[in-house]
């Protein structure tokens, strides 16, 4: 694979080490899949502490602890979740969930609870809060196989033009990830009709995120090229993608989720019941959006360290 780059002699093609990159990506997918499977099996073997009684609105892992949040995120990033078809996911989401909700089955035994939690994990990985299908490239489970090659390309380039190109590609995907995984209930008008893809905040998010990424990347690249030469400048240019991605991704997330702050989100209890029917909470929306935005930079940092 080659990308267009700039040099003193004009434009030329610059190769990305496809062999090494492909091996690294494949190894990462295998590693994450294996780690996910190991964590799921290990926590399953801990008895009732590892497999709590299934609750359609609950969490398998205690979200008040770091290890609980880590296990949930790790299992959500499992690339194997991409292998399930839309038909299989909807079957798990509607049949298993509704059977439990209707109490038509008795939840007992570690294995039964494990099967139900796994069904919930598979369904949650592919359906948003409105039970709508999320395209594979824009899921958490799709970040490694789909965003991985983009990250590899970003840190492989050593000149300005390809850096700007891959920053644009990266933020395009991030905008779609934020859109498809956002709270659709907050982006509906008074008539309950969801606003269109373009008329909502996606286009604004896309423009702002890409612009910020390109400005940061271009500014840093210009500074490096003005103050360093030769191999030293080439090496430093490889690190520019990280700060530009952190800034742009955080802004991207905030803009896409901003309608939740403007209109608020439904206030739910632990049983996912709306405690204020017909009302929304702006305070809860702010807390959710701000926390997600702040954590986005940390997520990008972990991805960069992985590759």
Within-domain flag for 192: yes
The whole-chain average pLDDT of the chain stands at: 75
pLDDT, residue 76, reads 92
Cα–Cα dist 291/188, whole Å: 23
Q: What mean pLDDT do residues 144-154 have?
A: 86
How many independent structural domains does the chain possess?
Answer: 2
Cα–Cα dist 141/132, whole Å: 16
> Same domain for 165 and 301?
yes
pLDDT, residue 50, reads 64
Cα–Cα dist 118/80, whole Å: 12
Cα–Cα dist 186/206, whole Å: 19
> Same domain for 177 and 306?
yes
Higher pLDDT, residue 11 or 241: 241
- Other CB atoms within 10 A of residue 169 CB: 16
pLDDT, residue 13, reads 42
Within-domain flag for 5: no
Within-domain flag for 123: yes
pLDDT, residue 253, reads 75
Higher pLDDT, residue 99 or 154: 154
Helices of type H across 134-195: 148-156, 160-180
> Same domain for 178 and 66?
no
Within-domain flag for 7: no
> Same domain for 152 and 279?
yes
> Same domain for 100 and 153?
no
> Same domain for 114 and 142?
no
Within-domain flag for 176: yes
> Same domain for 267 and 186?
yes
Q: Which of 75, 100, 127 is the last residue of a domain?
A: 127
- Asked which of 73-77, 97-101, 159-163 is least confident by mean pLDDT, the reply is 97-101
> Same domain for 143 and 197?
yes
pLDDT digits 0-9 by tens, 54-72: 887 788 898 888 888 889 9
> Same domain for 122 and 145?
no
pLDDT, residue 283, reads 87
Could you tell me the CA-to-CA distances from 150 to 83, 124, 155, 163 in Å, in that order? 21, 25, 9, 11
CB 307 within 8 A of CB 28: yes
Q: pLDDT band at residue 307, thresholds of 50, 70 and 90?
A: very low
**Residue 81 predicted with pLDDT over 90:** yes
Q: What mean pLDDT do residues 219-246 have?
A: 78
DSSP-derived letter for residue 300 is H
**Residue 47 predicted with pLDDT over 70:** no
pLDDT, residue 305, reads 42
Q: pLDDT band at residue 84, thresholds of 50, 70 and 90?
A: very high
Higher pLDDT, residue 139 or 217: 139
Range of the domain at 248: 136-307
What's the chain's Rg over C-alpha atoms? 22
Q: Which of 93, 127, 161 is the last residue of a domain?
A: 127
| Both structure tokens of 163 | 């850096």
**Residue 187 predicted with pLDDT over 70:** no
What contacts 84, CB < 8 A, 6 or more positions away? 92, 122, 126
Q: pLDDT band at residue 234, thresholds of 50, 70 and 90?
A: confident
Q: Which of 127, 162, 184 is the last residue of a domain?
A: 127
pLDDT, residue 150, reads 87
> Same domain for 100 and 166?
no
> Same domain for 250 and 192?
yes
Within-domain flag for 143: yes
Q: pLDDT band at residue 134, thresholds of 50, 70 and 90?
A: very high
Cα–Cα dist 185/128, whole Å: 11
> Same domain for 270 and 123?
no
pLDDT digits 0-9 by tens, 3-32: 444 444 443 445 566 777 788 888 889 999
pLDDT digits 0-9 by tens, 163-186: 888 888 888 888 788 778 765 554
**Residue 49 predicted with pLDDT over 50:** yes
**Residue 78 predicted with pLDDT over 90:** yes
pLDDT digits 0-9 by tens, 262-305: 778 787 776 667 777 778 888 888 888 888 777 765 554 444 44
Within-domain flag for 180: yes
CB 297 within 8 A of CB 249: yes
Within-domain flag for 1: no
H helix or E strand, kind and range, residue 219: helix 202-227
Q: What mean pLDDT do residues 41-57 have?
A: 75
pLDDT, residue 271, reads 63
């Amino acid at each position: 694979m080659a990308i267009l780059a700039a040099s003193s002699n004009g434009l030329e093609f610059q190769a990305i080490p496809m062999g090494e990159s492909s091996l690294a990506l494949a190894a990462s997918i295998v590693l994450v899949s294996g780690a996910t499977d190991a964590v799921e099996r290990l926590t399953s073997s801990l008895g009732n502490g590892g497999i709590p009684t299934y609750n359609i609105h609950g969490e398998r892992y205690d979200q008040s602890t770091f290890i609980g949040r880590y296990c949930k995120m790790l299992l959500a990033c499992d690339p194997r979740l991409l292998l399930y078809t839309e038909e299989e996911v909807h079957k798990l989401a509607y049949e298993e969930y509704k059977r439990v909700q209707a109490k038509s089955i008795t939840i007992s035994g570690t294995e039964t609870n494990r099967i139900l939690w796994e069904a919930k994990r598979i369904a949650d990985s592919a359906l948003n809060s409105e039970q709508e299908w999320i395209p594979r490239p824009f899921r958490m489970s799709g970040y490694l196989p789909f965003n991985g090659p983009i990250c590899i390309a970003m840190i492989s380039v050593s000149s300005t033009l390809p850096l700007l190109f891959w920053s644009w590609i990266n933020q395009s995907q991030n905008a779609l990830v934020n859109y498809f995984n956002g709270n659709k209930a907050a982006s509906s008008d008074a008539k309950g009709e969801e606003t269109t893809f373009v008329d909502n905040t996606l286009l604004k998010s896309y423009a702002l995120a890409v612009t910020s990424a390109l400005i940061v990347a271009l500014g840093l690249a210009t500074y490096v090229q003005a103050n360093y030469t030769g191999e030293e400048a080439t090496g430093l240019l490889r690190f520019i993608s990280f700060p530009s991605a952190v800034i742009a991704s955080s802004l991207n997330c905030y803009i896409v989720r901003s309608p939740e702050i403007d209109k608020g989100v439904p206030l739910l209890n632990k049983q996912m019941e709306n405690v204020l029917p017909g009302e929304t909470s702006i305070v809860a929306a702010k807390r959710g959006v701000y926390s997600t935005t702040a954590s986005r930079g940390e997520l990008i940092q972990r991805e960069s360290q992985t590759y």
